[in-house]
Structure 1
Amino acid sequence: MARFTVTYRIFAADQTEANARAEAIALEQTVEIPRDVVPAGFVEDVILGRVEEIGAEDEGRFRATISYSPESAGFELTQFFNVIFGNSSIQRGLRVIGIDPGKEMASRHPGPRFGIEGIRALCGRHEGGLIAPVLKPQGLGADDLAQIGYLSAKGGADIVKEDHGIMDQPMAPFRERVEKTAAAVARANTETGRHALYFPSLAGQADELEANIRFAKEAGADGLLIMPGLLGFGVVSRIARDAILNMPVMTHPSFLGPYVLSPETGFDHGVIFGTLQRLAGADISVFPNAGGRFGFTPEECAQIADACRDGAGPGKPMLPSPGGGMSVERAADMAAVYGEDVVYLLGGSLLRHGERIGEGIAAMRAALNQTQGAKT
């Protein structure tokens, strides 16, 4: 059975220390016992992680590739991720910089149900960047949010996305909000002949999530926004795998920041916002745009976009969705960085247009068409 591999950046004083750390990771991520008591046979030959390759990257930095058996990961996404970076994630000076699931794990976790082509087909935007206004701010009632959704869809939005901070607050309870916004977006679609997609932010206690997923589908939502850092990557996988539900998933980075902000721990940006999201089954991955208020660099954003769209990655290529600092004035720069297969999130700047929000969407579409040569 084909093993899967994880590549780690190990911070160590020298090669000897790096070798010892790599062997310790192979133990920690699988059997979690001293090497001298690992049972011979199946456990030692199959389950125990193997250091396949290790070498110096730079002074004090080493790259180690460790392989693991699919038998250790089983069929649950959560255990798969646990093997990738479970206990070892608590160590200092260790970062995941690459994951190759191999054929077996790729078959167990097939990735996005829709991907780039599927999302484009659903919304009818066959070329050019997709525009996604964000319904906010928190504190508005369900009727007000639904009205913004209507104006956004009427104005030419491809995706109408709720803000991740709008969950099940008393001002706009999840079910009331979803029902009203889905109806408003559907009304706009009927009037325009287009098909803007509505992605509400999934909310509810753990024992309410399943019922709320079904409710959103029946109310007319086209997809769901999930925060895997809070609700879990398993929720993303559950939705993506359901052929009867048949809903795309957009993931949001809330709570995931500490996994990438230190260069010596966690994950590379492309791994957590690209590879892991694809393995879970997300179709669109939201992340902070360079030049916004969160401080991601252009190189980090490019790494995320590449990991989302790489044809050699796990499952179908997915859409990167940068947010923050988006404007008509920056459209040319953004198109140069991200190309055409991207979802542009437009939040606070778009809301300045008020009832004329459609004019802001049209201006962004015109700017993207001009820089990308896309057709309306």
Structure 2
Amino acid sequence: MVSRVAPSPPAKIAAGRFARLLLALVCVALAGGCTVWPWRHEPPRPGRTTLDKRQTELPTQFLGNYLIVEAKWEKRRPARFIIDTGSSVTLVSAEFAASQGIKGPAGGVPAAHVRSADGTVATLPGTVLRRLKLGDALFESVPALVYDCSAISAHLGVQIDGILGFPLFRETILTLDYPHSRVLLAPRHSPALLPGSVVPFNNRQKTPLISVRLGDQSFVALIDSGSDAALHLNPLGLHPTFVRPPRTGVSVGTLTGDRTQQIGRVRERLVIGNYELVRPVVDLTDELSAIGGDILRHFTVTFDQERSQVTFYRESMEPIPPTPRLSSGLSFNKTPAYWRVATVVPDSPAAAAGAQTGDLITRINGEPVSAWPLGRYEELVADGGVIVFTFLNGRDEFQRRIPVFSLVP
């Protein structure tokens, strides 16, 4: 279900919350999707994992609800990776694979044949990385697939060299500390870093699928740190009630192709372990339900694959209150020179201002779009107010003042 793998599509920016890059490749198999994966049972793990310290903290950047870690590399810059607990495989760029991959046959790692949303089939070559150094942790003989990360890099505004899948951390205890923007690794037999609410994910594939509740109804959700969304909810069998009914949002880009949001706010509380979220925002899906970074950011989340459990910790036990979902009403295909409008939210101020799909935007508040990476643009939308977009028509530029609005109050 990976879309447009060759070549990669331009990255899309969702209105207010940026486009959900669905890196949770394991969802394909679990949801009965269309990808043919090269393994039938347990996903591949590194040949050897070495941690010289009781705990190692990785250089980490928190960007758009993603935790991005740095790896040591022979290049002049460090390699940057998104940690994706929803992915059953590690993906690396062709450049990183050429530098760190084992020469010759890929050590028994077959290519993955993936079918995109438009029905075409592409192939992700397999490779084995000799070594991957994350802080003081060394991973050797790492199975991986080669993927074009240019779209993800354009979306985030920083160079991304790959996505680290959940099986990479099989021999460790992985802690994603969102409130402090850090990632910690410890040997697999280490004691718990923090107290909290322990939730099991006992399944054969060691996939972080946990039981959660919406009101008095239980369902299974994937813990997906590779998504910047809140809750992707498959409502089948749940019958949620809405305080804000689903409305059409923007078209968001995923590895399975483009889809249009159906986003609203449910009346029921979402319960994860002993923690509650009041009237959460949900994006309806017909695939596997998943908890993304917009919820995970409230917690320190520790994954213990040896014991098949995950621990959620938050300093306060008070229910997490609802917040409005602000939006500019636009989504974009993003390039360094211009942003092309991909969709306009119906009945939004952007639609009333005359913005249309296909329009080119060259400046935001008078500055070139290249000066607006993910984090800065998100802060602009979160501040509310009016955004001045400069549109390009042939050689002529003109401005539209578009107010930020509450997509989901």
Question: TM-score, length-normalised on structure 2?
Answer: 0.25
TM-score (norm 1): 0.27
Name whichever structure is richer in helix by fraction: 1
